[in-house]
Amino acid sequence: MLLLLVSFFNPYAGIAGLVATVIAISVSHFTGLNKAFIQKGNYSYNALIIGIGMGAIYNFSIAFWILLTFIIIFSVILSVVFQNILGKYGLPFLTIPFVLCFLLVLLVTNVFEAIDFTYRNIYWMNDAYAIGSSYLVKLIMYFDRLEMPALLSTFFKALSSLYFQNNVLAGMIIALGVLIHSRIIFSLIIIGFLTAYTFNNIVMAHPEGMNYYLIGGNFILISVAIGGFFIIPSLHSYIWAVVSVPITFIIVMALGRITGQWGLPVFSMPFCIVLLSFLYFFSLKIQKGRVVATPLQLYSPEKNLYNYLNNKERLQNINHIRLQLPFIGKWMVSQGYDGNITHKGDWSKALDFIIVDQELKTYKNYALHVEDFYCYNKPVLAPADGFVQQIDDYIDDNAIGKINQQKNWGNTIVIKHAEGLYTKMSHLKKHSFKVKVGDFVKQGDVIAACGNSGRSPEPHLHFQVQTTPYIGSKTFIYPLSYFVSENNGKEIVQEFSIPQETAIVNNINHNPTLKQAFEFLPGFNLTVNAEGMEENKWEVFTDAYNNSYFYCHTTKSFAYFKRNETVFYFTSFDGDKYSLLYHFYIACYKIYLATEPAVAALDKFPLQLSKNTLSKWLQDFIAPFYIFSRLHFESLNKVVSNDFLNPSVSISTKQVLQFLSF
Amino acid sequence: MSKLKYERPLIKKLNAGMMNKFGAQSECTPVTHIDGVSVKSIIQKYGSPVFVLSEQKMRQNYKSAVRAFSTRYPKVQFAWSYKTHYNNAVCRVFHQEGSWGEVVSGFEYRKALSNGVPGSNIIFNGPDKHAEEIKLAIENDSLIHIDHFEELYLLIDLCAQLDKKARVAIRVNMDTGIYPMWDRFGFNYENGQAWQALNKIVESGKLQLVGLHSHIGTYMLSTAAYGVAASKLCDLAMNSKSQLHTTIKYIDLGGGFPSANTLKGSYGNVPTPSVDEFAEVITTTILNYGFKTEDLPLLILESGRVLIDDAGYLLGSVLANKKLSDGRKATIMDFGVNIMFTSFWYDHKISPAQEVSQFNEDTVLYGPLCMNIDIVRESVNLPLLNRGDHVVVHKVGAYNMTQWMQFIAMRPNIVLIDTNNETHIIRQAETLDYLEQLEVIPEHLQKK
């Protein structure tokens, strides 16, 4: 709102900008361009700046409006053209259409006699009188004459030039608006400005070579774009932001020399050149993780950063094929990854499982026979859906204490879950296989029984993940999706991790009620009520990329979610922060579809959801370098009624803002 | 030096080397402590005879039974068989471990409720359920296992009255290849009555068919019979889904697993199959039957005996020694068949509770009743015991404390040793007042 106010300091510019936008949108619709892009303003933002620019420097006349119309049409065409050329490289087209169109305008208006420059800019006080009486003029004059260091006044004027203004008050309002909108942008503006100022002091450019517009439109913008907008804000992005300013400075000066021949300014062309080359450079060269291009533009560096960090932590396993433990009930990891019995060399990333009793014994009676061992002949399950790739089923069980080094894997099954993802289970019991090569198995199907064949002195189950389909392939580090792990009598749920040696582990028992309650299929309609709030209508949709989301028809909000066999969780929310859907998003951020063990589901929100303004602002300023606060989420399911046919479960959730230092 | 213990003289045939029919003569090893508590101190504190239950052993038994099934099958539920031992403390131990309740009468049903078992986790079995009890069970959403058509019709009527759908299962009896065949309970599988009952339940529209139940016998020594039973129940479940469009939510295979006692008439120690072996047969049968993984029915087991028998001990003392007419030795104990009903079924293992002589003698063990049937062991190889010596009778946890009688002698204390080896009385010895509480003397007899 503040920024909008500023642009109407010059009402003519504002009107022309508005008209230009309307024209651009109409043209886009008329030609049938992508509606989503039109709605996002992809084809009209260049038109808006052209409109503002032209409105600010020309007198309104019939010829002016006709010229504006055709220039805007051309800007839409250029937008589409550059969008497609640069889009192939994953680059934005920025304000290239504006720069080109405006250069055109400036060049032709010299020869179009019907269009003449306005003197409003010179007598801008008249306008100010017209809009806001003498008080406004006095106010503006007051700030312009306010005693302040040249550095500050230059800074504010440079900012105001972003909106084709040239006064301190507008700059201050913009600065305030930016500060409220984004602390990161604010810091980058200052960094950009100071770098340019310092560089200028060193190289000492001719004073006439510099103007406020060049500072605002290029140096400040490039700093913001590289430091926090197109790149996820970080120490690296800030360093590159500083580097980008002198380079832009050089290009501004160099290009200015060329365009100056025809009396033309360079506008934001240097900004476009530097930004595009930097972004393309980053996408090619820089080590992954140091400089990260904003994956989904949320138009706020804070949101971009917090969402990026949050997603990196939460959603990194979203596309993993989920493997479960290949057995029923509680088993113990007798040898983990890099175990010192046999998990060595190429075969080090494997897991051995056995069953133990309360005294951690693996057998009953005197352990003379394989049948005395608890795990012997117990069902072995498919860890995930897949095709049976290979089976060896001809090796006899060893007597206890003996091993078979000829056929060291024993009876074995290899299942193919995807290209390059296989699981292998070994030492199985001869003739216990329930499937044959080529069969499709579903996750949890019984495939064989635990045995004592191969290099196995006592019955146990060997499990490994591998990237090639052979028995004997080397192992591959790959996590199990969700499982319960018991260590020292305490049960925890582990997610996408590797069970540790001596942990007692089991698959999560899903609660049918919760599974059913969180089954939201596309087309599902809900009418939602809450005390003191109006009734909302929600519908579940699935988009072209197979992402499911709730859409609230009442408040036009979106909440994207995922649901697998173990967890329901939201991935993002967009829309009204006071809607019921937002409350649902916050309350059901992550829910285990299970009640045993009674363990809380833990998660973290992106920090922009924090309600504590003071800590949030502090955090925003230093967020690119250090995150000191966390917004925790916790949900706990409690069985209210044990009725196994019709059980009811209550879910309680809470959010906690935590500071590391306190 | 303390005075040496008196040993009466005995003449014994020399038995060199080989094991004889009395086994390895292990019965002579004295058992002086139970869960770390000395037998002597228990008898001192709680009198003799006295029943002792080990909480630790109960929990161990439960956990290992659960492990046997739950490492083979994904959905397993145990339901504590109340008739085996319905002392509230005992029931609560099993409920704490996660067990449901299985009851066969109205009073057991109410006991389960008062022990905090949710109505929906109580299985109501038995051929004699009264209308009032059934109503209570319907209102509590309990699982009612129908035994006969008369009960089925009664249930339909009651549901109509209450306007509530009862959750029911039928008890099925079948030929599993063992004798005797318990075909007096439930509906027969082979003659089609079971299928007919399922049809009637679904057609009535008043009942919710949720499960199938069978209980093929008690102290079963054959695991294969459970495989046959499981497979016949699976067949009914499949047909019920395909033909009656009703999904069977659970299969209840009852109990009947043996404990490690020795049945009368068996020669020496016949090994009984372990819970693992039963679990293996039952779960393999169901897993192989062809259910989809997500449609597998819940497997319910109503084990009682196997979970508690060896957690129960009876401590008693010697009253007298005798020589019988045929020359055999006889010892009279202070406990008899009135409180040890299972001595009709088993040759209970009996150990002395103090250091004894190395010599054994074939003895008849009598109880204290003045009834000829009061024989605890007809023939047992015991060392020479004197009046006041203590003995420990093993594996008496199941059925004794529900089937005991108050005949001539009254019922003694029951003591529970908890997991911290502390003793607690969980049922007090009966008194004359207790005995006469319910007696009513008609007026004409009141004059002394």
Contact call for residues B185 and B148 (beta carbons, < 8 A): no
Tell me the C-alpha distance between B407 and B339, whole Å: 9
| Interval A583-600: pLDDT, tens | 999 999 999 998 877 888
Contact with chain B for residue A328, Cβ under 8 A? yes
Residue type for position A357 = D
Q: What is the pLDDT of residue B146?
A: 96
State whether A644 and B121 contact (CB < 8 Å): yes
Q: Which of A30-44, A383-397, B336-350 has the lowest mean pLDDT?
A: A30-44
B67, B287, B294 ranked by CB distance to A329: nearest: B67
Residues B236-261 have a mean pLDDT of 93
Measure Cα distances from B375 to A67, A241, B24, B320, B403 in Å.
Answer: 121, 99, 24, 14, 17
Residue A601 is inside which H or E element, if any? Answer: strand A601-605
Q: Is the pLDDT of residue B47 over 80?
A: yes
Nearest to B332 by CA among B369, B298, B358, B357: B369
Cα–Cα distance, A249 to A196 (Å, whole number): 7
Q: What is the pLDDT of residues B378-389, one digit of tens each?
A: 988 888 889 999
Q: Do B72 and A379 touch (CB under 8 A)?
A: yes
CB contact under 8 A, A355 and B67: yes
Inter-CA distances, B133 with A84, B110, B168, Å:
78, 9, 14
**Region of poorest pLDDT, from A160-169, A249-258, A270-279, A388-397:** A160-169
Cβ atoms of residues A191 and A164 within 8 Å: no
Distance from CA of A445 to the nearest CA of B (A): 6
The more confidently predicted of residues A143 and A616 is: A616
The per-residue pLDDT for range B276-288, each reduced to its tens digit, is 999 999 999 999 9
Nearest residue of B to residue A449 by CA position?
B72
Are A442 and B274 in contact (CB < 8 Å)? no
Q: Give yes or no for residue A146 having a pLDDT over 60.
A: yes
- Other CB atoms within 10 Å distance of the CB of residue B407: 14
Residue B184's contacts (CB-CB under 8 Å, 6 or more residues apart) are B173
A320-347 confidence digits (pLDDT tens): 899 999 999 999 999 999 998 889 889 9
CA B42 – CA B390 distance, rounded (Å): 11
Are B167 and A645 inside 8 Å of each other by CB? yes
E strands, B197-311, in order:
207-213, 250-252, 298-301
Question: For residue A248, how many other CB atoms are within 10 A of its CB?
Answer: 29
Name the nearest CA neighbour of A227 among A180, A187, A193: A187
Torsion sign (Cα): A85, A87, A92, A97: positive
Which band of pLDDT confidence, cut at 50, 70 and 90, is reported for residue A358?
Answer: confident
* Nearest residue to A104 (alpha-carbon basis) of A146, A50, A56: A50
Q: Where are the domains of chain B?
A: 26-53+310-432, 56-307
> What six digits make up the tokens of A647?
């059980």
Q: Is A642 on the interface with B (CB under 8 A)?
A: yes
Chain A touched by B249 (CB under 8 Å): yes
- Provide the mean pLDDT of chain A: 86
Residues 91 through 130 of chain A touching chain B, CB cutoff 8 Å: none
Residue A365 has pLDDT above 90, yes or no: no
Provide mean pLDDT across the span B390-412.
93
pLDDT at residue B26, as a whole number: 47
Amino acid at A438: G
Contacts of A645 in chain B (CB under 8 A): 120, 141, 167, 210, 249
Provide the sign of the torsion angle of the four alpha carbons A158, A163, A165, A167, taken in this order. Answer: negative
Q: Is A379 on the interface with B (CB under 8 A)?
A: yes
Cα–Cα distances in angstroms (integers) from residue A470 to residues A346, A409, B354, in the given order: 13, 11, 64
Element (H, E) at A354: strand A350-354
A292-306 tens-digit pLDDT: 888 888 888 998 999
User: A523 with A540: CB under 8 angstroms?
Assistant: yes
Query: How does residue A127 score in pLDDT terms, banded at 50, 70 and 90?
Result: low
> How many residues make up chain B in this entry?
448
Quote the CA–CA distance of A454 and A450 in Å, as a whole number.
Answer: 12
CB < 8 Å to B280, chain A: 377
Mean predicted confidence (pLDDT) in A81-100: 89
When pLDDT is averaged across residues B207-212 and rounded to a whole number, the result is: 95
For residue A340, count other CB atoms closer than 10 A to its CB. 10
Per-residue pLDDT tens digits for A198-233: 888 888 876 655 667 677 778 888 999 999 899 999
Q: How high is the pLDDT of residue A314?
A: 87
- What is the mean predicted confidence (pLDDT) over A457-486? 93
Who among B71, B121, B280 is closest to A329 (CB)?
A: B71
pLDDT value of residue B257: 92
Q: Does residue B127 surpass a pLDDT of 90?
A: yes
Mean pLDDT of all residues belonging to chain B:
91
The sign one gets for the Cα dihedral A344, A349, A355, A357 is positive
Looking at residue B273, what DSSP letter applies? P
Lowest mean pLDDT among A11-15, A245-249, B153-157: A11-15
- Measured CA to CA, the distance from residue B121 to residue B373 in angstroms comes to 41
Q: B86: helix, coil or strand?
A: coil
β-pair type (A601-605, A629-641): antiparallel
* Dihedral of alpha carbons B38, B39, B43, B44, sign: negative
In this structure, the number of other CB atoms found within 10 A of the CB of residue B268 comes to 12
Mean pLDDT of A498-513: 90
User: Is the CB of A641 inside 8 Å of chain B's CB atoms?
Assistant: yes
> Are the Cβ atoms of A358 and B70 closer than 8 angstroms?
no
Contact A378, A459 (CB under 8 A): no
Determine whether the interchain pair B71/A442 forms a contact, defined as Cβ–Cβ distance below 8 Å.
no
User: A644 CB near a chain B CB, below 8 Å?
Assistant: yes
Give the three-class secondary structure for A248: helix
Asked if the model's pLDDT at residue A1 lies above 50, the reply is no
> Is pLDDT larger for residue A164 or for residue A602?
A602
Q: Tell me the average pLDDT across B428-447.
A: 93
Q: Do B71 and A641 touch (CB under 8 A)?
A: no
Amino acid A133: pLDDT: 55
Q: Cβ(A117)–Cβ(A55) under 8 Å?
A: no
The type of residue at B112 is A
Q: Is the model more confident about B353 or about A118?
A: B353
pLDDT at A526 over 80: yes
Mention every residue, 6+ apart, whose C-beta is less than 8 A from residue A406: none
Q: Do domains B26-53+310-432 and B56-307 have the same CATH topology?
A: no
Of B67, B120, B298, the CB nearest to A357: B67
Residues of chain A found within 8 Å of residue B276, distances taken between Cβ atoms: 364, 374
Determine the 3-state secondary structure of B198 from DSSP: helix
Contact flag B298-A644 (C-beta cutoff 8 Å): yes
Mutate: best of A328, A376, A432, partner B, most B CBs <10 A: A328
A509 to chain B: nearest residue by CA? B74
Minimal Cα distance from B168: which residue of A? Answer: A645
Chain B residues closer than 8 Å to A444 by CB: 74, 293-294
Whole-number percent of chain B with pLDDT over 70:
95
Q: Which of B5-14, B162-171, B218-227, B403-412 has the lowest mean pLDDT?
A: B5-14
HEC sequence for A72-91: HHHHHHHHHHHHHHHHCCCC
Chain B residues with beta carbon closer than 8 angstroms to that of A644: 77, 120-121, 249, 298
- Nearest CA of chain B to the CA of A591: how many Å? 21
* Percent of chain A whose predicted confidence (pLDDT) is above 90: 44
Q: Which residues of B touch A379 (CB under 8 A)?
A: 72-73, 283, 287
Residue B95 sits at the chain A interface (C-beta within 8 Å): no
Interface test mutation site (partner A, options B57, B71, B96, max chain A beta carbons within 10 A): B71
Question: For residue B363, what are the contacts with CB-CB under 8 A and spacing of at least 6?
Answer: B328, B329, B330, B331, B377, B379, B380, B381, B382
The average pLDDT across A268-272 equals 88
**Which one of 3.10.290.10, 3.40.462.10, 3.20.20.10, 3.40.309.10 gives the CATH number of domain B56-307?**
3.20.20.10
Least confident window among A585-599, B153-167, B237-251: A585-599
For the domain A331-506, what is the CATH code? 2.70.70.10
pLDDT reading at A168 higher than 60: yes
- What is the SS3 assignment for A107? helix
Question: What percentage of residues in chain B have a pLDDT greater than 90?
Answer: 75
CA distance B229 to B190: 12
Q: What average pLDDT does range B436-445 have in this prediction? A: 93
Of A327, A358, A379, nearest to B63 by CB-CB distance is A358
Alpha-carbon Rg of chain B, whole angstroms?
A: 25
For residues B396 and B314, is the Cβ–Cβ distance under 8 A?
yes
- Indicate the domain borders of chain A: 1-122, 331-506, 512-659
Q: Would the pLDDT of A61 be above 90?
A: no
Q: Residue A364: list chain B partners with CB under 8 A.
A: 274, 276
pLDDT band at A286 (very low <50, low <70, confident <90, very high): low
**So what's the pLDDT on residue A327?**
95
The one-letter code for the residue type at A27 is: V
Query: Alpha helix locations (H) across A357-429?
Result: none
Q: Which of B293, B298, B299 to mutate to test the interface with A (most CBs of A within 10 A)?
A: B293
Of B44, B292, B269, the closest CA to residue A446 belongs to B292
Which residue of A366, A381, A446, A641 is the best one to mutate when testing the B interface, meaning the one whose CB has the most B CBs within 10 A?
Answer: A446
Average pLDDT over residues A113-125: 65
Number of other residues whose CB lies within 10 A of the CB of residue A334: 21
Q: Which residue of B has its CA nearest to A361?
A: B64
CA-nearest residue of chain B to A641?
B118
Give the ranges where B148-269 is alpha helix by DSSP (H): 149-162, 193-204, 224-243
Using an 8 Å CB-CB cutoff, list chain B residues near A378.
Answer: 71-72
In whole angstroms, how far apart are CA B156 and each of B61, B162, B244? 39, 10, 18
Burial B156-176 (b: 16+ CB within 10 A, else e): bebbeeeeeebbbbbbbbbbb
A534 CB burial (10 A radius; 0-12, 13-18, 19+): exposed
* B26-53+310-432: CATH topology: Lyase, Ornithine Decarboxylase; Chain A, domain 1 (2.40.37)
The alpha-carbon gap from A328 to the nearest alpha carbon of chain B, in Å, equals 5
Q: Give the pairing type, strands B414-417 and B50-54.
A: parallel
| Nearest chain A residue to B284, by CA | A379
Residues A505 and A499 sit within 8 Å (Cβ to Cβ): yes
In the CATH hierarchy, which top-level class contains the domain A1-122? mainly alpha
| More reliable by pLDDT, B312 or B27 | B312
Residue with tokens 């009395």: B22
Under a CB-based contact definition with an 8 Å cutoff, are residues A154 and A170 in contact?
Answer: no
Above 70 in pLDDT, residue A9? no
> Would you report the helix, strand and coil content of chain B in percent, each value rounded to 5?
30, 25, 45
CB pairs below 8 Å between A and B: how many?
64
Q: Cβ contact (<8 Å) for B120 and A375?
A: no
Residue A427: predicted pLDDT: 95
Amino acid identity of B257? Answer: F
Q: Predicted confidence band at A120 (pLDDT cuts at 50, 70, 90)?
A: low
CA–chain centroid gap for B159, Å, is 33
Q: pTM, whole model, 2 decimals?
A: 0.80
The complex's ipTM?
0.80
Contact residues for A211 (Cβ-Cβ < 8 A; gap 6+) = A161
Cβ atoms within 10 Å, residue A376: 24
Whole-number pLDDT of residue A662: 42
> Which uninterrupted H or E stretch holds A191?
helix A183-203
DSSP readout, B33-71? EETTEEHHHHHHHH-SSEEEEEHHHHHHHHHHHHHHHHT
